Amino acid sequence: MPATYHRTHGVRYFHGCYSVGEDRLWGVNRRRKGAANTLAALKSIRAARPDGAPIYVIMDNLSVHKGTDIRRWAKKHKVELCFTPTYASWANPIEAHFGPLRQFTIANSHHPNHTVQTRALHAYLRWRNAHARHPDILAAQRRERARIRSEKGTRWGGRPALETVV
């Protein structure tokens, strides 16, 4: 993502989902963040598990995720919404699975438009789901976990790690 700040085609938001049990990623690009898109993502998660068993969904603390329509639907369909604290990506065990997605499809890319970018995202998702234990994926997840953990102290007002001066 070059820092040109000229978004001639606008921006898109990736609504990503991860199934812990299946070690599977999926998602969709949307034009906007919003309750309707969040509800659509929750419905796709519920559809992936049609047996009616309770589902626990870890979500960030975005205000649109907490709307009454979403809460009502979740309660009716046995979906437990688990919100991470604000600025606590380190507390979300799913976050590390999306770091490689950014690294392999978005970082240092110059996609000419959103259609090409979406195709690259979905090509990566297909490859990743077929090769979930690939050494490159596992290494990228470890790097992402380390990056997220390094933010823990500074994001929560804690002291950053002390530097050793020799």
pLDDT, tens digit, 9 for 90 and up, residues 110-126: 777 888 888 988 998 89
pLDDT grade for 69, boundaries at 50, 70 and 90:
very high
In a domain, 8, yes or no: no
SS3 call for 28 = strand
CB 117 within 8 A of CB 12: yes
CATH number at residue 33: 3.30.420.10
147's enclosing H/E stretch is helix 135-155
Q: Is the pLDDT of residue 166 over 50?
A: no
Predicted TM-score of the model (pTM)? 0.69
CB 97 within 8 A of CB 141: yes
* Full residue range of the structural domain in which residue 35 is found: 13-155
How many domains does the chain divide into? 1
